[in-house]
Structure 1
Amino acid sequence: MEKLSIGEISIYWLDGGVTFLDGGAMFGVVPKPLWSKKYPVNEKNQIELRTDPMLLQINNKNILIETGIGKGKLTDKQKRNYGVVEESKLDESLAEIGLSPKDIDIICMTHLHFDHASGLTRWEDHQLVSVFPNAKIYTSKVEWEEMRNPNIRSKNTYWSENWEPIQNQIYTFENQVVIEECIKMIHTGGHSDGHSIIEIESNGQKLIHMADLMPTHAHRNSLWVLAYDDYPMTSIFAKEKYIPYAIENQSWFIFYHDAYYRALKWDQDGNIIDEIKRK
């Protein structure tokens, strides 16, 4: 299990499952000869994408960022369509550091697409229940509204089984919210209308989770946005604002989807100057 410490915060990457999605969809209008130099692709034109939540420990609190693909939630057809080759092993990952899902105090959801939110609930005695019954779950107000009332496009990724059992645990915000005095969730839109990013700071050290505005290290270019993005120009504007700012402040970039890097730092010329690779 990979770990990163900044200031007083410890961050662990848990095992949330593995998908293989179409590389063209993940890089939008960028030609394959360009993006395939940055990120490996298989013979089916698919790229490996993790769905690995990050556990933060600060102020005696256990905080999750995202929740994984879930376990026992997907049909065989869905597994084929989304290239799911491994489901979540969150219970086992948490047990490695002496925790269980009941020990999670807070969950930060950048957005609620199925590959981030399926880990919020599970089947138990033929009923859907909350996986993390003691957690406050934060997401933007816009995202929560669309989760419950998806449009003709987004209904394919906002599923009722991922929100109905946890609706009493939800805390929403409009522009931004600060959690435990060191975690800031900022509503950006772009990938989804309610998408947020997360900035974290402790003892002068910083990191940023761009979530699906930059799902892998290969998406650093502000113009390389996903075909899945509902508002691609909004994604571009947000990347142009936050990526240079984070690099200037020597922030770590952390990843939920990247199959090769857990975290890294870039210099202003785009060179990697520090890294944590997935084992």
Structure 2
Amino acid sequence: MESLQIGKIKLTWLNGGVTHLDGGAMFGVVPKPLWTKKYEVNDRNQIELRTDPILIEVNGKRFLIEAGIGNGKLLEKEKRNYGVTAESKIHESLRELNLTVEDIDGIIMTHLHFDHVSGLTTPQDDTYVATFPNAKIYCSKIEWDEMRNPNIRSKSTYWVRNWQGIEEHVIPFEEEIDIYPGIRMVHTGGHSDGHAIVIIESEGEMAVHLADLLPTHAHQNPLWVMAYDDYPMKSIAEKQKWIPFAVNKNAWITFYHDAVYRALKWDQAGRITESIAIRK
């Protein structure tokens, strides 16, 4: 498992599963000859997208960013449609670190689309229970409200089976929330109305997790936004704000979906100066 140290805060990527989504949808209006120069595509026009939660450890506290796609949550048709080649191995990943799901204190959910949230609940008999029984779940109030009352577009990704069983664990916030000293969430909108990012700071070092504003390193150009974005102009504006913010702070930019990099740093010219690649 790859890890990154931000001052006194340690980040470790767990195995949350693998999907393969349509490259055209992932890069929106960007012509295929352009985006295929930056990200590998298969013969079905799909790109590999990890769904790997990031474990945050600090002062004996443990948080996750995102929850993976879970196990036994997706129907066979959904697995085919979303190109799922591996389900979550969160339990195994935690076991390698001598941890269990009971040791997780909080889950930081940037948004609640199925590929981020499915791992929060586990099937049990005819219902669902919280996978992380002792964890508080942080997400924006806008996101939590839409999760339970989706519109005609968002109902395809906000599923009842992903929020039943966790209602008592959820802590919604408005614009910004401090999860723990050095860890904060900021509401951005864009990809979804309630989308948020995560900023981690310790001892003069920083990591910025832009979630699905920047799903892969190939989405570096602010104009390269997904067809899946509910508010693409908002996504563009937030990328124009937060990517330069990270660059100016010499911050690590971390990824949940990228199949090449766990994290990287860009310089002012957009060149990669440091990176942590996925070991395969």
Same fold (TM over 0.5): yes
Mapped to 2, the partners of 1:265 and 1:65 lie a distance apart of 19
Mapped to 2, the partners of 1:131 and 1:251 lie a distance apart of 32
Q: Which position in structure 2 is the counterpart of 1:105?
A: 105
Q: Which runs of 4 or more aligned residues in structure 1 lie more than 3 Å from their structure 2 counterparts after TM superposition?
A: none
Q: Which position in structure 2 is the counterpart of 1:50?
A: 50
- TM-superposed deviation, 1:126: 3.6
Q: Which position in structure 1 is the counterpart of 2:19?
A: 19
- TM-superposed deviation, 1:180: 1.1
SS in 2 for 1:161: helix
CA deviations 1:100-145 (Å, max 9, x no partner) are 1011001100000000000000112343110001001000000000
Report the residue type matching 1:173 in the other structure.
F
What 5-or-longer segments of structure 1 have no aligned partner? none
Report the residue type matching 2:105 in the other structure.
D
Q: Which position in structure 2 is the counterpart of 1:215?
A: 215
Q: Which position in structure 1 is the counterpart of 2:204?
A: 204
Mapped to 2, the partners of 1:104 and 1:124 lie a distance apart of 20
What 5-or-longer segments of structure 2 have no aligned partner? none
Q: Which position in structure 2 is the counterpart of 1:35?
A: 35
Contact 1:59–1:180 (Cα < 8 Å) also in 2: no
- Alignment map for 1:85-100 (pairs within 5 Å): 85-100=85-100
Q: Which position in structure 2 is the counterpart of 1:145?
A: 145
Q: Which position in structure 1 is the counterpart of 2:163?
A: 163
Mapped to 2, the partners of 1:114 and 1:195 lie a distance apart of 13
Q: Which position in structure 2 is the counterpart of 1:72?
A: 72
Q: 1:230 and 2:230 equivalent?
A: yes
Mapped to 2, the partners of 1:75 and 1:245 lie a distance apart of 40
Report the residue type matching 1:223 in the other structure.
L
Mapped to 1, the partners of 2:145 and 2:128 lie a distance apart of 21
Mapped to 2, the partners of 1:26 and 1:127 lie a distance apart of 33
Q: Which position in structure 1 is the counterpart of 2:83?
A: 83
SS in 2 for 1:164: coil
Q: Which position in structure 2 is the counterpart of 1:241?
A: 241
- Alignment map for 1:248-259 (pairs within 5 Å): 248-259=248-259
Mapped to 1, the partners of 2:144 and 2:264 lie a distance apart of 30
Question: TM (normalized to structure 2)?
Answer: 0.99
Report the residue type matching 1:153 in the other structure.
R
Q: Which position in structure 1 is the counterpart of 2:123?
A: 123
SS in 2 for 1:128: strand
**C-alpha root-mean-square deviation of aligned residues, in Å?**
0.6
Report the residue type matching 1:79 in the other structure.
K
Comparing 122-131 with 245-254, greater Cα deviation is found at: 122-131
Sequence identity (%): 63
Question: TM (normalized to structure 1)?
Answer: 0.99
